[in-house]
Amino acid sequence: MDPQAFIRLSVGSLGLRAPGTALNGTKSGSHAFSSPCTCEIRLRGFPVQTTSVPFVSSPEATPDANSIASSFYLEESDLKALLTPGCFYTNHACLEVAVFTGHKGTHCGVAMKRQQVGTFRLEVGPEWGKGKPAVLFNGWTGIGKNKQENGKPGAELHLRVKLDPDPRYVFQFEEKTKLSPQIVQLQGNIKQPIFSCKFSQDRVQQVDPLSNFSSSFIDSSDIEIERRERKGWKVKIHDLSGSAVAAAFITTPFVPSTGCDWVDRSNPGAWLIVRPDPCMRESWQPWGKLEAWRERGIRDSICCRFHLLSDGPEGGGDLLMSEILISAEKGGEFYIDTDKQVRAAASPVPSPRSSGDFSALSPVLGGFVMSCRVQGEGKYSKLLVQLAMRHVTCIEDAAIFMALAAAVDLSIEACRPFRRLRRGTRHSW
């Protein structure tokens, strides 16, 4: 499998200092900042990313060089667009880091203003497209109109801007997941068949290697077929020889919670993602667990939460890798990216060296792992999956992410609101 070229632009090692500024925001000299300070990191064509900027009190101190505050992932077409002046741009695009003090919004009905401290700009250059690691900037720099005031140095921002090659494999499901599509790898205009996807829906437990696992995950009460539930969905990923190399199946049925007509956070549906056990023939090894439920609001969302199972299906080593809200109407992107903040995580999310390596998890190998783009409810969906090359050591590593992506796609459908049925009729699911 040949990967496509991507680069990761990372901005990190952030810190802010100004001579004569106290950390508590009181004025001691010519500068005073109200805490906290934030920055908006902008790159044309990409969503603005916002993060906090810590104060640095000691003149000799330097922020952590390994900390990452923001990452942008660029492919060849993105670089071409950034290097091409547009109708309203006379020069190439710039990376901008705008620093603000104070809060934005209102408090107790009173409008609150934030003040811009200054902006760091770095123009996009040809070196961005060379595909080699490069540190574009590292150190302190004066920012904004306060670079010099009354002969005294103004606010200074510390940051590290780095380029790293981050090649990816790109896959596409040729049809809807429920139609058991072929999965191809995209290489420019070339489509190379890699896997096939087999969807099935069992209403009665059948003899299957997966049933050994399902019996330990499903309560005896779930054996009874209920009137309103979505259960028994199963997806197997096969290689070109026809061997099953990964699978996903529902372990907790998607059922409406008490007092409502949808799958609620209090009782989410769940999938088990498995891969072949190398030590036992026709047996499966648990790899991950995906939970999904519906978040009600003005615009409903589907929440997908993925845990990596490091110590077995019921062990204490579950690692939260991703928790993403996807628009129920428009769809969106599910991803695993340890550079980004996970909403429910209290600590940095580790990342595996490969999809099968549970024994050595390291945040140093963080960053983008995978993403899959799904459509909203009732829309025709052909899954597009991207996978970081560094997390793939064999074809089975890629297959397990295909099973996870299929489970995410099917969860959008499984979380649709249930319709109350007339007495005597059976549900269509």
Gap between the Cα atoms of 143 and 219, Å rounded: 61
Nearest to 65 by CA among 142, 163, 162: 162
Gap between the Cα atoms of 412 and 415, Å rounded: 6
Q: How far is CA 327 from CA 300, 376, 377, 417, in A?
A: 6, 7, 9, 14
- Mean pLDDT, rounded, for 17-39: 57
Identify the band that residue 218 occupies on the pLDDT scale cut at 50, 70 and 90.
Answer: very low
Please answer whether residues 231 and 222 qualify as being in contact, where contact means their C-beta atoms are separated by less than 8 angstroms.
yes
Please give the pLDDT value at position 39: 92
Please give the pLDDT value at position 168: 94
Residue 292, both tokens: 């999904």
User: DSSP string covering 23-59, please?
Assistant: TTS-B-SS---PSPEEEEEEETTS--EEEEE-B--ST
* Pairing label, strands 152-153, 49-53: unpaired
Identify the band that residue 148 occupies on the pLDDT scale cut at 50, 70 and 90.
Answer: low
CATH 2.60.40 residue ranges of the chain are 8-161
Nearest to 48 by CA among 126, 107, 104: 104
**H-helix or E-strand containing 185?**
strand 182-187
Is residue 219 scored above 60 in pLDDT? no
pLDDT (tens digit, 9 = 90+) per residue, 272-313?
999 988 777 678 899 999 999 999 888 999 999 999 987 544
Residue 22, both tokens: 């106290």
**H-helix or E-strand containing 213?**
helix 211-217
Please answer whether residues 302 and 280 qualify as being in contact, where contact means their C-beta atoms are separated by less than 8 angstroms.
no
Is residue 342 scored above 50 in pLDDT? no
Please give the pLDDT value at position 227: 45
* Burial status of residue 151 (CB atoms within 10 A of its CB: 0-12, 13-18, 19 or more): exposed
Identify the band that residue 33 occupies on the pLDDT scale cut at 50, 70 and 90.
Answer: low
Of the ranges 16-30, 221-235, 367-381, which one carries the lowest mean pLDDT score? 16-30
Gap between the Cα atoms of 38 and 36, Å rounded: 7
Exposure b/e, 392-407, CB count within 10 A at least 16 = b: beeebbbbbbbbbbbb
Please give the pLDDT value at position 257: 83
Quote the mean pLDDT of the chain. Answer: 79
- Mean pLDDT, rounded, for 157-165: 94
Nearest to 112 by CA among 124, 100, 122, 121: 100
Please give the pLDDT value at position 260: 82
- Mean pLDDT, rounded, for 83-96: 74
Q: The pTM is what? A: 0.79
Catalogue the E-assigned strands of 76-125.
94-101, 105-107, 110-112, 115-123
Nearest to 322 by CA among 313, 310, 333: 333
Please give the pLDDT value at position 245: 94
Q: Which residue has the tokens 């009874």?
A: 224
Gap between the Cα atoms of 106 and 322, Å rounded: 31
Fold of 8-161: Immunoglobulin-like (2.60.40)
